């Protein structure tokens, strides 16, 4: 079922190049932008903003004002289309670009400020929306879940303090250490990870299932909580792993993790493995049993069985032969001791034995098992 994603202009998923700046709250019309009046603005020719997404359609939203001018947009390296952001009467949260239908796959959309009129040099970006054929993730998992593993544990803190407000459930994990990692296990087609952007936040890289998934920057002049730090979909079923790695630079050194939305929770085996670990410890790794060719293994077992059986058979034959020889020797000795073949049992045993009279079943009418 198709679903929509919307990210604000402050999301690290948008890569700004050039001299873009945060919109000024002193602008008398700033409240007309979305997300409490946030927008990113450019006034220099050649400034670009780029988003990589997976989906079937994308829209870029911003304002059209009397000091806004030309800009271009291209998708996937195709020939750019030119537009004009001028409007004598300002209008806000307007679609600056609509891609139309696209194939369900990864795309790159880039908007460029042409600034071809010095009296109308401005271009701003408010938010971006795209459509995908994948279902939206709905399972919310907080940062304290065993599905989140933070390494090393000493690099992460959970005391948010007054500087980090607005976190889901008032919990989060923060680090400023180089190469500190947060590993998230999830299942299904899609995932969105949320955190904070702000003056002290910096760059981080992401790996998805062991492959590079990009480098992002959470720095922003103004603090904002619950922003998309990473999003992906169309992954297919099964378990997946995300690894966030902090890459601080100077005072822009922070990485703040809040929560994730997952298409599905990991399967029972992965969930059990995650539950066995600590949210501040080492992620337990599943063990793999390597087996040889079952045909060769069975043949080897058969040979072992034949050898064992042959050995046991030889031992039994030897004991039987010894018993026969002993029995024959014993009888010969008895014959020598009792010449003439006596029927006196005592002669064989050396003891006086009284033989019981055998009952005649035809003459005796008592029950055979009676007293």
Q: Is pLDDT at 124 greater than 50 in this prediction?
A: yes
Q: How confident is the model at residue 181 (pLDDT cuts 50, 70, 90)?
A: very high
Domain at 1-133: CATH architecture: Sandwich (2.60)
CATH of the domain spanning 135-290: 2.60.120.260
Tell me what pLDDT residue 345 has: 39
Tell me what pLDDT residue 354 has: 40
Neighbouring C-alpha atoms within 13 Å toward the C-beta of 135: 12
Separation between Cα atoms, residue 47 and residue 18, nearest integer Å: 5
**Which residues have C-beta within 8 Å of that of residue 23, sequence separation ≥ 6?**
30, 33, 37, 38, 39, 40, 41, 124
Q: How confident is the model at residue 2 (pLDDT cuts 50, 70, 90)?
A: confident
Spans of all domains in the chain: 1-133, 135-290, 294-334
Q: What is the DSSP string of 196-238?
A: EEBTTB-EEEEEETTEEEEEEE-B-SS-EEEEEEEEE----SS
Q: Is pLDDT at 151 greater than 90 in this prediction?
A: yes
Q: How confident is the model at residue 326 (pLDDT cuts 50, 70, 90)?
A: low
The per-residue pLDDT for range 19-49, each reduced to its tens digit, is 999 998 889 999 999 998 999 999 999 999 9
Paired residues of 124 in beta bridges:
41
**Which residues have C-beta within 8 Å of that of residue 83, sequence separation ≥ 6?**
70, 71, 72, 73, 96, 97
Average pLDDT value for the chain: 81
- Give the mean model confidence (pLDDT) for residues 216-241: 94
Tell me what pLDDT residue 317 has: 61
pTM: 0.71
* Lowest-pLDDT choice from 100-109, 138-147, 258-267, 360-369: 360-369
The per-residue pLDDT for range 263-293, each reduced to its tens digit, is 999 986 444 444 433 333 333 323 222 222 3
């Amino acid at each position: 079922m198709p679903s929509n994603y919307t990210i604000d202009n402050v999301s690290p998923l948008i890569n700004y190049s050039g001299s873009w700046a945060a919109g000024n709250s002193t602008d008398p019309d700033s409240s007309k932008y979305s997300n409490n009046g946030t927008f990113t603005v450019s006034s220099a020719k050649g400034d670009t903003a780029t988003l990589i997404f997976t989906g079937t359609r994308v829209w870029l939203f911003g304002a059209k004002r009397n000091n806004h001018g030309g800009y271009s947009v291209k998708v996937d390296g195709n020939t750019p289309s030119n537009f004009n952001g001028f409007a004598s009467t300002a209008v806000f949260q307007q679609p600056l670009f609509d891609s139309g239908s696209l194939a369900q796959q990864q795309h790159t959309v880039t908007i460029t400020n042409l600034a071809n009129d010095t009296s109308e040099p401005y271009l701003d970006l408010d938010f971006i929306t795209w459509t995908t054929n994948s279902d939206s993730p709905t399972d919310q998992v907080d940062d304290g879940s065993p599905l989140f593993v933070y390494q090393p544990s000493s690099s992460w803190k959970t005391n948010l303090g007054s500087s980090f407000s607005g976190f889901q459930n008032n919990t989060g994990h923060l680090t400023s250490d180089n190469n500190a990692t947060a590993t998230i296990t999830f299942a299904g087609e899609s995932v969105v990870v949320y955190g904070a952007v702000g003056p002290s936040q910096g760059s981080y890289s992401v790996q998805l299932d062991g492959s590079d998934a990009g480098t992002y920057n959470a720095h922003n002049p103004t603090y904002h909580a619950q922003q998309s730090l990473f999003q992906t979909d169309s992954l297919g079923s099964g378990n997946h792993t995300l690894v966030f790695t902090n890459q601080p630079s100077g005072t822009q050194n922070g990485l703040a993790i809040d929560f994730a939305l997952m298409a599905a929770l990991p399967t029972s085996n992965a969930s059990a493995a995650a539950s066995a670990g600590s949210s501040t410890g080492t992620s337990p790794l599943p063990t793999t049993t390597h087996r040889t060719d079952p045909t060769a293994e069975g043949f080897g077992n058969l040979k072992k069985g034949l050898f064992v059986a042959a050995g046991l058979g030889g031992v039994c034959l030897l004991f039987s032969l010894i018993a026969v020889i002993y029995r024959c020797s014993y009888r010969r000795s008895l014959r020598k001791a009792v010449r003439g073949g006596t029927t006196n049992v005592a002669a064989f045993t050396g003891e006086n034995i009284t033989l019981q009279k055998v009952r005649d079943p035809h003459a005796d009418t008592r029950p055979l098992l009676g007293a």
